[in-house]
């Protein structure tokens, strides 16, 4: 049985370090990049991480049904797991 392709294999170009914990999010009506940034990173200021990874030129033109790649937060911001 073949393995399932990863999100970056399906939708984008692989960026090894940045895509180690890549997620996907299907945009629904009413959602914004700032809202997604708060949901995934705890800060609305991180919306540019999502926009940059998805090559978003105009955030006002995002359509419901768009599949977005959600990168992991930068290593400096990531919470450390306790051993």
Domain contains 48: yes
Task: Tally the domains of the chain.
Answer: 1
The answer to whether residue 78 scores a pLDDT higher than 60 is: no
Domain contains 34: yes
- Among residues 8, 16, 60, which one has the least CA distance to residue 34? 60
Domain contains 64: yes
Q: Which two tokens stand for residue 47?
A: 């919306």
The β-bridge partners of 25 are 68
37 compared with 4, residue with greater pLDDT:
37
The β-bridge partners of 67 are 26
Domain contains 46: yes
Reported as a single tens digit per residue, the pLDDT across 27-66 is: 999 999 999 999 999 999 999 999 999 999 999 999 999 9
Domain contains 77: no
Domain contains 83: no
Q: Which two tokens stand for residue 51?
A: 């926009």
Q: CA distances (Å), 77 to each of 35, 43, 46, 73, in order? A: 18, 11, 11, 6
- What CATH code is carried by the domain that includes residue 39? 3.10.350.10
Q: What pLDDT does residue 22 have? A: 85
- Among residues 54, 34, 32, 33, which one has the least CA distance to residue 44? 34
Range of the domain at 49: 21-70
Domain contains 4: no
Reported as a single tens digit per residue, the pLDDT across 10-28 is: 666 666 666 667 899 999 9
Domain contains 39: yes
């Amino acid at each position: 049985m073949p393995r399932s392709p990863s999100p970056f294999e399906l939708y984008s170009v692989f960026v090894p370090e940045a895509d180690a914990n890549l997620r996907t999010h299907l945009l629904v009506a009413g959602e914004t990049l700032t809202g997604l940034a708060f949901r995934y990173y705890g800060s609305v200021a991180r919306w540019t991480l999502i926009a940059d990874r998805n090559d978003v030129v105009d955030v006002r033109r995002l359509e419901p049904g768009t599949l977005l790649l959600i990168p992991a937060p930068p290593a400096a911001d990531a919470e450390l797991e306790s051993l």
